[in-house]
Structure 1
Amino acid sequence: MTELEFITKTKALIDDLKSVCANYGLGNDASEFNIITQVFLYKYLNDKFIYEAKKIDKDLAQADDFQKAYEAMPEEKRKFLHGRIGNKAAKLTPEQLITYLFNNSNSDNFAETYFDGTLLNISTENVSLYSVKSTTGVKDKMFDNISQFIRDSSQRDAFCRALINKLVNVSFERMFSEKYDFFATIFEYLIKDYNSDSGGKYAEYYTPHAVAHIMAAILVNETDISNATVYDPSAGSGTLLMNIAHAIGEKNCTIYSEDISQKSANMLRLNLILNSLSHSIPNIIKGNTILQPSYIKEKFQYIVSNPPFKLDFSDYREDLAKDSFKERFFAGIPNVPNTKKESMAIYLLFIQHIMYSLAPNGKAAVVVPTGFITAQSGIERKIREALVERGWLRGVVSMPSNIFASTGTNVSILFIDKKANSDKVVLVDASKLGETVKDGKNQRTKLTDAEERRIIDAMNKKQAIEDFSVVVKKAQIVEKNYSFSAGQYFGLKIEYVDITAKEFRSKMECFEDRLNALFKEGEKLDKEIIKQLKGVIYE
């Protein structure tokens, strides 16, 4: 199965699930997103369990009917199978498989007893493997009572039956051996209908794949990394975390994340499962990173973040101004504006939090509004000055406009490295790259693979390329008032062309002839103006 075939197959399943929701009055309903993601997760867990079970037990692998063979398996042998599977998949009983639900879909009270009951049992029995916890330590459940989203109780059995009918004839087993990284495409497809300003604003949780890939490729430019810790304090769906984990190697790193959104925590869980990172699910925290960080004592080797730029945090702004926060927020805390509290620059707190959370050999990549890199005063200037004076600035890439389909804000990527070379800071101006494409109602800039590679090479190889990148020293940055904009370091270019003495005389004669002609034309115009003035009379 090729990647394209698998993506097509998965999109078709998502469309089928959307169709079921629409047929039962839930099309574009707030619950539709939850239903589709949870049913998709159940399908994935089902197929992953079957895949792992077949690898271990040859009788199951060779059986014409997996369901019957699994039901016939002695209890002791089944326990042994679960032990062999370990943390590679959810441990499902025969009664929890999709085929069992399908075979019993005409039973009385199917929705509550069979469908919802099965999903809730899976959630409870696998809580240690797949549950997300909050800052208070409470673990959430994987699944809701999905049938309860249908208000008319007489339709619940039929609704759940329709969902099972869409799942039973589709198999993702082959995908697990193909090892394709399909999730970014699937995720973007899944959320495209939920990027509205009302309800779940999922655009804020999705970072374009090009940005994520560039950040990971620049951060991870060495080999043989092991036992790495990777952190995102505003993780969203985890696109940045997935890209850096792939660059390091899923088995060579442990993911840590925080985000205040329940939706993003659930989506990140799904992302981790789909990307062979289930071992990091216990490290997903749903909470307020700025006010109550769960990992305040930990220091991380790699940090990636696309934090919210503007957000109203006026309710706890005064708490952050206390002495206990001053070490972390060394450059200060944005004030509460008289109007538009939602414009408070919370990203400045995230940058300071990231600097505080880096290990002695730590590296970070942070998406920032491009205005941050040139602001002449305030918290922005203090942070930039600290990065330069501490010798932590590795470089900056200024991205093209509209690289994010959901916002017109120009963005740059700030690269921090505690072991950076202060005499070789790389500043890249990629603002002119990419092509504009239509993305729904919005215009979006897309980078080609070659353009991505050009940015990555300029940073990693410390290349100075005319009108694109510069390599500067600390002293030069200080001289430019700590500006991180590549354009301010591009030199003024004067082009010189070698010509002969004869060519020079010829050019000068042409200039003289042209000037004499212009002078004569000017004299004629002067005489005409005087003539016209003499003809003006008073009435």
Structure 2
Amino acid sequence: MSEDQKKLLETQLWNIANELRGKMDADEFRDYILGFIFYKYLSEKQYLYANTLLETEQVKDYLLVTNAGDLEAIKEESLLKLGYYLKPEELFSSIAKKGNANTENESNFILADLESILNSIEQSTMGTESEDDFNKLFEDLDLNSTKLGRSTEARNSLISKVLFHLDKIDFALEDAEADVLGDAYEYLISQFASGAGKKAGEFYTPQQVSKILAKIVTTDKKRLKSVYDPTCGSGSLLLRVSREVPVDDFFGQELNRTTYNLARMNMILHDVHFRHFDIRQEDTLEQPQHLDMRFEAIVANPPFSAKWKGKNNPLNENDERFSQYGRLAPTSKADFAFVQHMLYQLAENGTMACVLPHGVLFRGSAEGTIREYLIKELNYLDAVIGLPANVFYGTSIPTCILVLSKCRVHNDDILFIDASQSFEKDGNKNKLNEAHIDAIIDTYRTRSTKDKFSYVSSLEEVAENDYNLNIPRYVDTFEEEEPVDLDQVATDLQELEKDIAETDALIADFCQQLNLKTPF
């Protein structure tokens, strides 16, 4: 599919999303439209797979199959291959057709049927390997919400209209080489993030930042056995890593229930098999779900300076993730708690890259103690990258990327990159373009010092700075001003005085002619 066709698909889906825009908040209509797109995707995957099983049968179109034995056989194979099952009458095209029937003899009421179908998808997985991946996946699609319409008829009409428009769009799932729908889904998520204000930070990392993190953790890698995100949001950051190198298995954890559902949908819609992703819902710091595992790559954009229980939970004092550092991260700022958690789960040959607020570079007290231990005792900090302000949704503060590794090649220095001025305006936000990203990644991979952009600091120099990592201490971005020609300034002032005198005389003359008092 061409780039123009891809853009067309994105536009079509966004226009359909806007059918719901006037009815509810951005984060609410997001859940409906993405849920309906996901249902259509599941339906088309089911239809295409069933038809491959019917190639040697007399009836080759799954929509026309009525034989109970054939349907049972397709169900068994579908649960193994796809992880779920849809009957012919439960397919998206069937329910969309019914919702838009215009004959007197045929009902177009579909709300009850649609709710039953969404429940049926989940129920089909019960007792199978994919049960956890589909459990309550559609719980945010409340078809009886008055936000869709005050009356049942109004809600039915709106949903039928949305399904009708979606049904006319070709998702091109037959093209196994293209991930066009996945790209379009990511586009919609980014569009919703841009309109969701502060809430956007809960589920989406801007694509250009995701790309930097992904390229860092895949440096010198041809393939990754596993990648992990402890605050995975919509899962987009995990999926971004797989665009750099093949990834065998994806792992993530997310606190927000709605966002957790979105992450699972995102994985499935990007054709990640249910056996190759494990997304869990819980508080990562208090109830980590993958604690016995170690990961080759870790990426994260944790909530900035979030509150956590810290010392208010006595168990944290002896938790192996935190106990060796001598201090716990403050309860008002969990930034370093997330760093410690990720380091604990990082494999010995692994690299992690995470986005954090600038305060982690220089704040003192407990955070200063943790920072010194990371560098002096563990020597895991590989690079510090300063990003521009106003890049993230929901906050305008400048941020940084910390890169940490347990297998550092350059274990006697730390690379500092100041990319704070590497941006272009994008509406009311700042954005890194491809050239900015390439400059950051090239500097990271070549580990080079560049004037006013990067500096390779020895560990001794960092120690002399009391382990303060504030980037201006290492990267000199001072721009000398041009020398001032005082003789020229004096001449300019004389000319200005002459101009003022001439103007005053002109005003006085006008005032005299008009018989007015002069203002000076």
Q: What's 1:242 paired with?
A: 239
Shift of 1:289: 1.0
Q: What's 1:43 paired with?
A: 40
Q: Which structure 1 residue ranges, 5 or more long, are not aligned?
A: 337-343, 496-510, 519-539
Q: What's 1:116 paired with?
A: 115
Does residue 215 of the first structure (1) align with residue 213 of the second (2)?
yes
Structure 1 Cα separation of the partners of residues 379 and 321 of structure 2: 19
Which aligned pairs between 1:428-467 and structure 2 lie closer than 5 A? 428-438=417-427, 443-467=428-452
- Alignment check: 8 A CA contact 1:397 1:430 kept: yes
Q: Which AA in structure 2 matches 1:430?
A: A
Pair 175,236 (structure 1): closer, same or farther in 2 beyond 3 Å: farther
Q: What's 2:203 paired with?
A: 205
Q: What's 2:344 paired with?
A: 356
Structure 1 Cα separation of the partners of residues 351 and 369 of structure 2: 20
Q: Which AA in structure 2 matches 1:142?
A: F
Shift of 1:45: 1.1
CA displacement, residues 133-157 of structure 1 (integer Å, 9 cap, x when unaligned): 7xxxx94343556431245234444
Shift of 1:247: 2.1
CA displacement, residues 354-375 of structure 1 (integer Å, 9 cap, x when unaligned): 1222222221111111122233
Pair 60,287 (structure 1): closer, same or farther in 2 beyond 3 Å: farther
Higher mean alpha-carbon deviation, 429-438 vs 73-82, is at 73-82
Pair 44,317 (structure 1): closer, same or farther in 2 beyond 3 Å: farther
Which aligned pairs between 1:381-530 and structure 2 lie closer than 5 A? 381-389=368-376, 390-420=378-408, 421-438=410-427, 443-490=428-475
Q: Matched residue pairs, number?
A: 471
Shift of 1:488: 2.0
Q: What's 1:275 paired with?
A: 270
2:252 is paired with a residue of what secondary structure? strand
Does residue 72 of the first structure (1) align with residue 72 of the second (2)?
no
Pair 366,145 (structure 1): closer, same or farther in 2 beyond 3 Å: closer
Which aligned pairs between 1:51-130 and structure 2 lie closer than 5 A? 51-55=48-52, 57-58=54-55, 66=61, 69-72=62-65, 74-82=67-75, 86-88=80-82, 90-105=84-99, 106=101, 107-108=106-107, 110-126=109-125, 128=128
RMSD: 3.5
Which aligned pairs between 1:315-326 and structure 2 lie closer than 5 A? 318-320=312-314, 322-325=316-319
Does residue 299 of the first structure (1) align with residue 294 of the second (2)?
yes
- Alignment check: 8 A CA contact 2:83 2:274 kept: no
1:104 is paired with a residue of what secondary structure? helix
Structure 2 Cα separation of the partners of residues 282 and 461 of structure 1: 33
Pair 225,457 (structure 1): closer, same or farther in 2 beyond 3 Å: same
Q: Which AA in structure 2 matches 1:207?
A: T
Structure 1 Cα separation of the partners of residues 58 and 116 of structure 2: 28
Structure 2 Cα separation of the partners of residues 356 and 295 of structure 1: 11
Pair 156,430 (structure 1): closer, same or farther in 2 beyond 3 Å: closer
1:214 is paired with a residue of what secondary structure? helix
Shift of 1:132: 5.1
CA displacement, residues 141-177 of structure 1 (integer Å, 9 cap, x when unaligned): 4355643124523444434433332232222034743
CA displacement, residues 185-204 of structure 1 (integer Å, 9 cap, x when unaligned): 231124433x145xxx1333
Q: What's 1:28 paired with?
A: 25
Structure 2 Cα separation of the partners of residues 492 and 101 of structure 1: 61
Pair 399,62 (structure 1): closer, same or farther in 2 beyond 3 Å: farther
Q: What's 2:495 paired with?
A: none
- Alignment check: 8 A CA contact 1:48 1:176 kept: no
Pair 174,295 (structure 1): closer, same or farther in 2 beyond 3 Å: closer
1:19 is paired with a residue of what secondary structure? coil
1:148 is paired with a residue of what secondary structure? coil
Pair 327,91 (structure 1): closer, same or farther in 2 beyond 3 Å: closer
Pair 494,305 (structure 1): closer, same or farther in 2 beyond 3 Å: closer
Structure 1 Cα separation of the partners of residues 175 and 47 of structure 2: 11
Pair 110,317 (structure 1): closer, same or farther in 2 beyond 3 Å: farther
Which aligned pairs between 1:339-378 and structure 2 lie closer than 5 A? 344-375=332-363, 377-378=364-365
Structure 2 Cα separation of the partners of residues 61 and 212 of structure 1: 49
Higher mean alpha-carbon deviation, 423-432 vs 275-284, is at 275-284
Structure 1 Cα separation of the partners of residues 350 and 360 of structure 2: 22
Q: Which AA in structure 2 matches 1:188?
A: S
Structure 1 Cα separation of the partners of residues 241 and 191 of structure 2: 21
Q: What's 1:341 paired with?
A: none
Pair 43,414 (structure 1): closer, same or farther in 2 beyond 3 Å: same
2:110 is paired with a residue of what secondary structure? helix
- Alignment check: 8 A CA contact 1:424 1:462 kept: no
- Alignment check: 8 A CA contact 1:230 1:303 kept: yes
Shift of 1:353: 1.1
Structure 2 Cα separation of the partners of residues 244 and 117 of structure 1: 36
- Alignment check: 8 A CA contact 1:235 1:258 kept: yes
Q: Which AA in structure 2 matches 1:45?
A: L
Equivalent of 1:253, from 248, 251, 272? 248
Q: What's 2:145 paired with?
A: 149
1:234 is paired with a residue of what secondary structure? coil
- Alignment check: 8 A CA contact 2:389 2:397 kept: yes
Does residue 179 of the first structure (1) align with residue 167 of the second (2)?
no
Pair 320,259 (structure 1): closer, same or farther in 2 beyond 3 Å: farther
Pair 406,352 (structure 1): closer, same or farther in 2 beyond 3 Å: same
- TM-score, normalised to structure 1's length? 0.78
Q: Which structure 2 residue ranges, 5 or more long, are not aligned?
A: 492-520
- Alignment check: 8 A CA contact 1:392 1:416 kept: yes
Shift of 1:241: 0.9
Pair 410,433 (structure 1): closer, same or farther in 2 beyond 3 Å: same
CA displacement, residues 33-91 of structure 1 (integer Å, 9 cap, x when unaligned): 3322211111111122233344554479997xx5xx53236444444445555434643
1:246 is paired with a residue of what secondary structure? coil
1:466 is paired with a residue of what secondary structure? coil
- Alignment check: 8 A CA contact 1:401 1:408 kept: yes
- Alignment check: 8 A CA contact 1:123 1:143 kept: no
CA displacement, residues 480-506 of structure 1 (integer Å, 9 cap, x when unaligned): 2223344323479999xxxxxxxxxxx
1:313 is paired with a residue of what secondary structure? coil
Q: What's 1:286 paired with?
A: 281
Pair 18,485 (structure 1): closer, same or farther in 2 beyond 3 Å: same
- Alignment check: 8 A CA contact 2:35 2:141 kept: no
Equivalent of 2:257, from 249, 262, 278? 262
- Alignment check: 8 A CA contact 2:217 2:352 kept: yes
